[in-house]
Every structure is written in structure tokens, then in C-alpha cells.
Structure 1
Amino acid sequence: MAGKENDNVELGIHETLELHEVTTQRRSNLLKAHMMDAIVKDPELKKLLRRERQNSEKAIDEIETFLP
């Protein structure tokens, strides 16, 4: 998990729940891209899947800086 740069930010319960929902979706995307990478043969599709994994990992790290 990334450092807590945003410790001073206080979120409402609805905002916290929304961030958890977005994180859950990103984790799902990450898992799916990882599983698909094992079976995909097309190099361009593999490239897209790797980019999706990187983007999801980055988004998860960024979002987690806001969560308690």
C-alpha cells in the first residue's frame, strides 16, 4: 500500500463507501487482466492487458491513500 499522503482528508461515509466500490472494481479488473494474460496469444491484446494491470494497480494505490 502506498504512503498515506492524504491523512488530513476527512471523507464522509458515502465517499468512503464509493472509494471502496471503485477499489473493488479495479481489483476485479486487475484479476481479470492477469488471468487473461495467461491465455491470450495476440501481442497487441497482451500489451493492452498489461497496461490495464498497471493502470489498475496505480489507481488502487492512489485510492488507498484516501481510505482509513
Structure 2
Amino acid sequence: MNNAIHETLELHELLMFKNLCLTKSSTMTGLVKDQELRDILERDASQTKHQIEHLQGLLSARGENL
């Protein structure tokens, strides 16, 4: 199934945003001292990685270049 151009652009925009979120969570994890906050950031990074893989899969399945 092919996406309309605006749908593909929105998927790319979401992918860029999630990559930025992952970068921020990963960076902050190394800086925080509080273990509870570190655990939250690590969970967030893990979930974000899965979301990125899902978005990449959606784009790949439709023949879009990443």
C-alpha cells in the first residue's frame, strides 16, 4: 500500500522526532544521579527504540527510502 505524500512526510517527521527523543533520553541517562529517574529514562529509551523500529518498518513496507 502506498502512502500519500503528506502521510510519508508525517511518518518521516515522527521518525526524526523520536530519534531526537532517544538522543535526549540517552544523553540525560548518563548525567542523572537519581536511580529512579535513571530507570525512567532507560525505559523511555527502550520504548523509543521500539517505536523507531516500528516507524522504519512502516516506511520500508511501503517502499519509502529512509
Instruction: State the TM-score bracket (shorter-chain normalisation).
Output: 0.7 to 0.9
5+ residue gaps in structure 1?
1-8
Q: Is residue 12 from structure 1 mapped to residue 23 from structure 2 by the alignment?
A: no
Q: CA RMSD in A?
A: 0.7
Percentage of pairs with the same residue? 35
Q: For 2:13, which of 12, 21, 25 is the aligned residue?
A: 21
CA distance in 2, matches of 1:11, 1:64: 14
5+ residue gaps in structure 2?
none
Q: Which residue of 1 aligns with 2:44?
A: 52
1:29-48 counterparts in 2 under 5 A? 29-48=21-40
Which aligned segments of 4 or more residues in structure 1 are displaced greater than 6 angstroms? none
CA distance in 1, matches of 2:58, 2:30: 32
TM-score by length of 1: 0.83
Residue-pair matches, total: 60
CA distance in 2, matches of 1:39, 1:60: 23
